[in-house]
Structure 1
């Protein structure tokens, strides 16, 4: 099997001693997320996070400090002198950095410049007193660092989509995990902290070369040895595999799959080759077919009880409504993709128009430099969407779960949940998604919650609105301060129920008391209120005592 240590036009990872020396020097100059933030200050650091390099460049233009030299080289993509770089990184010479594929001669032969983007990444310790994780991630330089249309096999770095997936992934201990479409390896790094073994796949050989480089450079922080990514070692913790979609793992099963696939919808052309496509974002299929394919097929590689979490786009297609008008329910298409027995949760985080979508992705690859080519490509997008009657494009989280054996044996009904959350949510949201699944399991195990006791979640507050002089509020809202930060419009009886949830009375007792108080002793009242209470438990407003 290929180990991807030496791939043309990608960093080399077959020189362990050099990479160990580089890691020591980067740590010595505090080339970490916190170190760079302290060097730049809040404004310039936030601007850099928006791909705006000018504030940092102005701040560091006269600085010869070692950390400033490293930041100018790999984050700002500025030329630096070999002498300054040698002083900043004394354990590894410039020729060795060039041999690794990290720097190259600038147009001014007396200077060197970055051949790749190499930036700090990490996350805080999971427990108080624990050690923060500090890593470095290599990827291709972005258009904001080196102007020009990106190469078709561009290897994307740390972007908002990859961070969104990392923050939304449920971090539970698992035996086997799959990172489908690994790119430069961001999801893989996180998986190694809670999965015993991880398979990482990609259709791009260069992407797998970048991933291997990042693994070797960060091996100590990731708890890896050279044997852990040896393709001939059957006990290796990491397996890097080249191939499309699920082809590299045919016949295998996993407890967790994560994927930030190349989901961008791109107009297709007759006779086009894969070399014409941006592999980091374009799956080569028409419309949203790549996301549909994964939603249909990912459950086939899950162990019972296993989960798949991914990001994706879906087309919102206008459909004729019963009154003769045109309507578009965003959840209609994704809900049709599910295989029987698959539990699913779709959360739409954004929806944009066809024109807005075209602008986003034409600008992403710097395709606006040629105005006529930009106009032609823009028109192709609009015609492509119009051919399928697409009125909008949604983006969001997809969570799929294969029921456990005991659940399947009980013939439980697989739930498909679709909700739209367009406002900011708490991050990382993964723990809240995990808690939501636990509550869903609890509800499935308690079809009748009449004898159960509930408590109001600590982050929940109540908000009442009423006109001046009114005897009763016209609107009662229940709000979450954490997690998905939902707001629930309450009826008078439901608000009364929540106010009594202090763990002293059972659900049945509270419902009975409200029925007497409101003179509603009919079954419909009790049934409707119990249904609303279950929804509040599902959404985390109320918790089992």
Structure 2
């Protein structure tokens, strides 16, 4: 199954669905059950939702169906927010009886191209234009055409095998969100509900999946993370500060109720929607898994600013990187023992400081923590990215003033760069101490989805903490290759590298003794036996310190296990 149209990120993975039905668990009643929120799609009309799902399925409005209609070139252009190739292709398809219905739906829902009512009635005979209007999805334009009020696009994933080895089926869904900047004129509304974007699919891909009783989607937006959580969590709590965002999430949940295993008559049995900021809606509760794509964008604050002045989908209302720092500090308080949290974030990098200096200061010393910086940009590029994101560059004076405000804001805190990356946190199990404290930069391409590999790395770290490495027997991982480089005529290689072909695709520079150790890892000899043999082979000269040699080699071997080059036999 290919990625959905206009989605620039790689395809999202599935996670294991519980193998057998699980009993309902007691959770706090959802305070947000509104099915008719102003300026959002309605979710209180089950008959129309069922009719809409049936029509969309019948017309072939799926991820694969759209990709097949558009063809590779137009579909790829659409993923870059370029509509013209898709408009050309669907314009031609509109004249063919076999493709006219799907072309009309694509033009309306993905390309925001107004359609005639009779065209839509023919393409979607169950719900028709009248039903689309009643649901709040379309409106009549001045030219007596029907135009889209929201973006409604297919989204899905293929069957996969989860971290626990349980096979899970795929899903074919439809996701409603506000029209994006390339689909409408003007600056985005401040309570804009973001659709399927690169950040949301990145979080989907980095999340390590496992079956849990309770999960939390903090800042759900239109509900993408919740959809994935429902395939491996018995109950999901989804929060947001925006009523419109929760209304979109509720609409999407009920439109896709069958695929998400949600009872339309009792959705709260599996999903609780909470209105509120950060962790306030779940204070005093605990979850086994928390995921969050928070409003982490660093935005200049101004005197007299109110929430109405902020883009709620990206601006948390706090200065600098305080949204992310406050979450990193507070999330362990809502984690059950052994529970994990994964989120995305930005952090400021002061001039002359290491990028990891601020993130390290946020981490709870009692919690496991892993930061991976994926990108670093300067203040100018950061300002350009987010001003363009909200289409503020369409107003020249607004763009100039806002750009200057960004630079002044960063200069006031001596910020020379802004980092972006992923964050993993864990509350240790009762009686256990911190096992993981990693702050690393990985800017090259990695395998996606990387979530299973992050989960495996955590398991290896736990294994190292619980076992005597010297007594272990190790094997070289299947995806690992070795490279040796030497100058012409040289007797020995000057550089020996180990490379991973999967996961984080790390490269490790080996010393002579470490290369010799890895070559002997076939599972027969223990780590201690191999180290002893290397000591006898390479030591014995004047000044050789055997204890130091053994300790240093054991540390390097532990690092290779931690990073997945070597695995327990």
Would you call these one fold, judging by a TM-score over 0.5? yes
Match of 2:552 among 525, 528, 539: 528
Shift of 1:227: 3.9
Aligned position for 2:147 = 113
Higher relative contact order by CA 8 Å / sep ≥ 6: 1 or 2? 2
Shift of 1:431: 0.4
Match of 2:481 among 461, 477, 487: 461
SS for the counterpart of 2:328 is helix
SS for the counterpart of 2:394 is coil
How many residue pairs end up in the alignment?
A: 526
Cα deviation, 1:270-314, whole Å, max 9, x if unaligned, reads 110110000000000000000000000000000000000000000
Aligned position for 1:126 = 160
2:207 counterpart of 1:207: no
Aligned position for 1:353 = 378
Q: Which aligned pairs between 1:502-517 and structure 2 lie closer than 5 A? A: 502-517=522-537
Aligned position for 1:48 = 78
In structure 2, distance between residues paired with 1:353 and 1:284:
22
Q: Which aligned pairs between 1:46-445 and structure 2 lie closer than 5 A? A: 46-64=76-94, 65-109=100-144, 111-126=145-160, 131-230=169-268, 236-318=269-351, 327-407=352-432, 412-445=433-466
In structure 1, distance between residues paired with 2:298 and 2:70:
37
Shift of 1:144: 0.3
Aligned position for 2:505 = 485
In structure 2, distance between residues paired with 1:298 and 1:268:
25
In structure 2, distance between residues paired with 1:26 and 1:131:
20
Q: Is the 8 A contact 2:177 2:222 kept in 1?
A: yes
Shift of 1:107: 2.8
Aligned position for 1:538 = 562
In structure 2, distance between residues paired with 1:94 and 1:517:
81
Q: Is the 8 A contact 2:205 2:450 kept in 1?
A: yes
Gap regions ≥5 residues in structure 2: 1-30, 95-99
In structure 2, distance between residues paired with 1:511 and 1:171:
36
Q: For the aligned residues, what is the CA RMSD?
A: 1.2
SS for the counterpart of 1:376 is helix
Shift of 1:49: 1.1
In structure 2, distance between residues paired with 1:463 and 1:171:
33
Report the TM-score, using the length of structure 1 for normalisation: 0.95
SS for the counterpart of 1:62 is helix
Shift of 1:371: 1.3
Say if 1:191 and 1:90 are closer, same or farther in 2 by CA, change over 3 A: same
2:433 counterpart of 1:451: no
- Which deviates more, 521-530 or 180-189? 521-530
Shift of 1:68: 0.8
Say if 1:129 and 1:312 are closer, same or farther in 2 by CA, change over 3 A: closer
Report the TM-score, using the length of structure 2 for normalisation: 0.91
Shift of 1:51: 1.1
Shift of 1:406: 3.5
SS for the counterpart of 1:525 is helix
Q: Is the 8 A contact 2:435 2:462 kept in 1?
A: no
In structure 2, distance between residues paired with 1:376 and 1:491:
54
Aligned position for 1:27 = 57
- Which deviates more, 369-378 or 500-509? 369-378
Shift of 1:55: 1.0
In structure 2, distance between residues paired with 1:10 and 1:466:
65
Cα deviation, 1:470-491, whole Å, max 9, x if unaligned, reads 1111111110000000111111
Q: Is the 8 A contact 2:229 2:236 kept in 1?
A: yes
In structure 2, distance between residues paired with 1:129 and 1:357:
41
Shift of 1:42: 1.1
In structure 1, distance between residues paired with 2:285 and 2:169:
34
Cα deviation, 1:124-145, whole Å, max 9, x if unaligned, reads 0125996431000000000101
Aligned position for 1:321 = none
Aligned position for 1:472 = 492
Q: Is the 8 A contact 2:321 2:347 kept in 1?
A: yes
Aligned position for 2:10 = none
- Which deviates more, 368-377 or 412-421? 412-421
Q: Is the 8 A contact 2:435 2:465 kept in 1?
A: no
Shift of 1:370: 1.6
In structure 1, distance between residues paired with 2:430 and 2:329:
20
